[in-house]
Structure 1
Amino acid sequence: MTDLPGGDAPDEDAPLLPERRVRRRRGATAPTAPGPVPPTDPTTAAFQAHVRSARSELENQVAHARAEFDQANERIKERTGRDLIVAIGIGLAIGATVVVSLIFWKWIFVVFALGAAVLGVFEFGRALQGSGRRVDLVPQVVLGSVLVVSAWFLQMWLLWVVVFAAVAVTVVWRLVAQMVARDGRRYGDVLDDALVAGFLQLYVPFMAALCVVLLRQERGEFWVLAFLIVVVAADTGAYATGLMIGRHPMAPRISPKKTWEGFAGAAAASLIAGVLLAWLLLQLPVWTGLILGIIILGTATVGDLGESMIKRDLGIKDMSSWLPGHGGVLDRLDSILLSAPAALALYYLLTPLVTR
């Protein structure tokens, strides 16, 4: 045993301090002084600096692009009254649902059409009530649902019977309800209420029912898809062209934001879509696509302007706010509803020309 500095030998019988016992038991060694830090490789340091610079530049570019996009979106929203991003997202979701249902499960599209018709009747009825009209929502919704479902199961002549019954029942219901109310309402207002009751059934459920009738036909799902695509193409062409170069109002007293330049864009888009669909989807001669595009363009434009005139008469901007970026359900159906009977007529007219 070696002596410790100072000449005294360690006492092996002396108790160890707690930390010394732990070290001895665990085999711990005394901490050593840290060695010198190896110098950083100049190549590694330069690479890390380059990565940090590139990341910072990318973040700045993304932030700048985001700011420019937000500013452009705000300008579009200010001009059109729509949130472009939300509108595109909802439009794509609805479009995907419609396409999948038409291609794989027709009955799902019937459910989709039924839901759209019910919501359209409800929000139109509420808008009419807000303007002072007396509308009986429960019979309107119930009879409208019966009308749409009947189009899937009944022959066309029986569907006309259901249409007549739905209109008659809603009109009589309104007259009886007015007789029970006895609130001194003027004769002219009561007559207007009755006419509105019948118009509501013809405008929304009946047009939706004709779309279901078209769906029932042989290859009808492709015809429904075709006329919907032409309507969307016309709407998109009008929106984009009017936004970029629109200067001359088309119908300023009805819809101030619609321009002749936008209509020209809608015409070009619908004609191109009609030709491509006739050739690739409907198995028709190419020239029939021009007829399809022109007819659907006309009905879609009249339907859009017609609903705009109704909203202006009611003193509202949108039928509802159920679809952010779009307004109400009826605001998206206005061009489609009037195009459904035109598409059905074109089916009967052009189907004999199928080339293969």
Structure 2
Amino acid sequence: MTNDPGARGPSKQRRPTGISRAELEDRVRARREQFEEANERITARSGRNLLSAIAIGVALAVLMVVSLLFISELFLVFVGLITCVGTVELVGALKKSGRSVPVVPSVLSAAGVSVAAFYGGASGQWLTLLAGIGLVVLWRLVLLAAPAYRAGGVGQLLRDLTAAVLVQTYVVFLGSISILLVSQPDGRWWVLSFMVVVICVDTGAYAAGLNFGKHPMAPRISPKKTWEGFAGALLVALVAAVLLTVLLLHEEWWVGLIFGLVLTLTATFGDLAESLLKRDMGIKDMSTWLPGHGGFLDRLDSMLPSAAAAYVLYIIFS
């Protein structure tokens, strides 16, 4: 045995500290498979594709916020276009259920009411809406000259006219209220606030219902909507509404409680109302234009009645 300090013992083979490319690819593949499985479970439980829903929701929210904060006229164009598209969606869905609503005058009315709400105020909105309803009704009566539109007799005609009025009141009128509100002094902040609160309602209901939902709220209308989800929606909405009311709208905190409660009720009602309407027409979605959401109306069902509620609250408190 030598004491030579230069002598070396058996050399130890060092292990590489990194991982190989194959191992990295395996890990990425495993994580992707786990995520896809989780997404499939969420989709099966909620009825929506999570990734597509989030991506489209974020894109719509960004466009809405940018138009609200910088160019009000761009908000008019954006919401007016969505209102026209929603009108086409509902007219197409009604056609599948046997109701014939003229699409051209319906869209013309949607565009006209949107512009009138922005530049003419509430009076312009109402007058243009009444004129639009008259145009759609007259158009449908003129179509009676064609034999195909006389099938079903007076009963069918009354159903078609009722459906036409439904399109104008549900989509055109409610869709134009946010445009009317944004044209008011400081109205853009109320529009931004009510949209954020409604998004919080949808998010809170989705998260709470997905994790804790056991008791259906209206099983015959919307089986996936639960009381637990409603409680989660209310909690998140109240917190968001109080913060927005105090920091953005400069109102008292208790106004935020009213704001959050009212919008939770209207957003939930809007969701259930459209679910009932789709069940009556025998369809799952208004259209397939938005992957993960169905159609624009499927995304905005909570927003439409909430816009009307926000406008009333603006008149009361602002």
TM-score bracket relative to the smaller structure: over 0.9
Offset of 1:158 from its aligned partner?
Answer: 2.7
Q: Which residue of the partner structure matches residue 71 of structure 1?
A: 37
1:259 to 226, 236, 250: 226
Is it true that 1:348 corresponds to 2:315 in the alignment? yes
Q: Which residue of the partner structure matches residue 15 of structure 1?
A: none
2:115 to 131, 149, 154: 149
Structure 2 residue identity aligned to 1:216: S
Offset of 1:320 from its aligned partner?
Answer: 0.5
Contact conserved, 1:278 with 1:285, CA < 8 A, in 2? yes
Name which of structure 1's ranges 103-112 and 307-316 shifts more when overlaid on structure 2: 103-112
Offset of 1:64 from its aligned partner?
Answer: 2.9
TM-score normalised by L of structure 2: 0.92
Q: Distance in 2 between matches of 1:327 and 1:81?
A: 10
Is it true that 1:177 corresponds to 2:143 in the alignment? yes
Indicate the percent of aligned positions where both proteins have the same amino acid: 47
Q: Which residue of the partner structure matches residue 193 of structure 1?
A: 160
Contact conserved, 1:140 with 1:201, CA < 8 A, in 2? yes
Contact conserved, 1:234 with 1:297, CA < 8 A, in 2? yes
Q: Distance in 2 between matches of 1:279 and 1:58?
A: 49
| Aligned length in residues | 307
Q: Distance in 1 between matches of 2:139 and 2:22?
A: 69
List gaps (5 residues or longer) in structure 2: 1-10
Q: Distance in 1 between matches of 2:190 and 2:24?
A: 47
Structure 1 residue identity aligned to 2:272: L
Deviations 1:32-69 (A, max 9, x none): xxxxxxxxxx79x736x22236x666554433322221
Deviations 1:238-296 (A, max 9, x none): 01111111111110111111111111111111111111110111111111100000111
Is it true that 1:127 corresponds to 2:85 in the alignment? no
Q: Which residue of the partner structure matches residue 109 of structure 1?
A: 75
Deviations 1:65-96 (A, max 9, x none): 22221111010111122110111111111111
Q: Which residue of the partner structure matches residue 297 of structure 1?
A: 264
Q: Distance in 2 between matches of 1:78 and 1:141?
A: 35
Deviations 1:81-124 (A, max 9, x none): 21101111111111111111111111111111011101100011
Q: Secondary structure at the residue paired with 2:124?
A: helix
1:322 to 267, 271, 289: 289
Contact conserved, 2:263 with 2:306, CA < 8 A, in 1? yes
Is it true that 1:46 corresponds to 2:9 in the alignment? no
Contact conserved, 2:114 with 2:125, CA < 8 A, in 1? no
Q: Secondary structure at the residue paired with 2:150?
A: coil
1:224 to 191, 194, 199: 191
Q: Secondary structure at the residue paired with 1:64?
A: helix
Is it true that 1:313 corresponds to 2:293 in the alignment? no
Q: Which residue of the partner structure matches residue 33 of structure 1?
A: none
Larger-Rg structure: 1
1:248 to 179, 197, 215: 215
Q: Which residue of the partner structure matches residue 7 of structure 2?
A: none
Q: Distance in 2 between matches of 1:93 and 1:227?
A: 18
Q: Secondary structure at the residue paired with 1:155?
A: helix
Is it true that 1:269 corresponds to 2:236 in the alignment? yes
Structure 2 residue identity aligned to 1:131: S
Q: Which residue of the partner structure matches residue 5 of structure 1?
A: none
Q: Which residue of the partner structure matches residue 337 of structure 1?
A: 304
Deviations 1:146-196 (A, max 9, x none): 111111111322322111111122122212322543634222221111111
TM-score normalised by L of structure 1: 0.82
RMSD after superposition = 1.7
Q: Secondary structure at the residue paired with 2:99?
A: coil
Q: Distance in 2 between matches of 1:73 and 1:264?
A: 24
Q: Which residue of the partner structure matches residue 127 of structure 2?
A: 161
Is it true that 1:62 corresponds to 2:31 in the alignment? no
Contact conserved, 2:109 with 2:129, CA < 8 A, in 1? no
Q: Which residue of the partner structure matches residue 3 of structure 1?
A: none
Q: Distance in 1 between matches of 2:298 and 2:118?
A: 25
